[in-house]
Amino acid sequence: MLRPTLTPAGVDVADRSGLAGEAVRRIMHVAAALRHHQDLDIAALGLTPAVARALYHLDPDHPLPARELADQLRCDRSNVTALVDKLEQAGLVERRVDPTDRRQKTLVVTEAGRRVRERVHDVLSDSRLLTALSTEEVAALRDLVWKVSDGGCPENCGP
């Protein structure tokens, strides 16, 4: 009689449903750990996670109307107003009249905003939780994450 092969959490690898559930729980655990580290690092920049996310979504080279930022963030425009107020108070963004449509204002990232946005990018790209993995394991993890998040790995995601 064959004995079941168990994962570290005691799930039989032949039990696809149990194995998938364990994988989802571990992904959620990793996501929570990543978010915790990111939130601490973002707070060290003097930002809230929502304000940092708003700044990250702004392209320093292409001013954007607040309504388009709301669309990118998938939130109500009134919420974006509060986020932009905070970014403007911190000197990271300026509201300027759109030269092509003077009825609306666009959001322009300041020089200070560019520097902080780069630091936010670094925080959101922090890979300290992956240091125990080899380069090959990181590549395999990246490919698997692509597969489950986007329905397949793009052609150019190989090493």
Burial class of residue 14 in the structure, from the number of CB atoms within 10 Å of its CB (0-12 exposed, 13-18 middle, 19+ buried)? exposed
Q: Which CATH number applies to 16-125?
A: 1.10.10.10
What's the Cα-to-Cα distance from 104 to each of 94, 97, 101, 133, 157, rounded to whole Å?
Answer: 13, 6, 6, 49, 39
Residue pLDDT, tens place only, 50-84:
999 999 999 999 999 989 999 999 998 888 999 99
Domain segments of the chain as ranges: 16-125
* pTM greater than 0.95 (yes/no): no
Angle (CA) 88 69 83, round 5°: 35
Location of structure tokens 């090493």: 159
Tell me, what's the pLDDT at 74? 92
- Spans of the chain below 50 pLDDT: 158-159
Tell me, what's the pLDDT at 93? 97
Q: How far apart are alpha carbons 97 and 105 in whole angstroms?
A: 4
Tell me, what's the pLDDT at 134? 96
Share of the chain above pLDDT 70, in %: 86
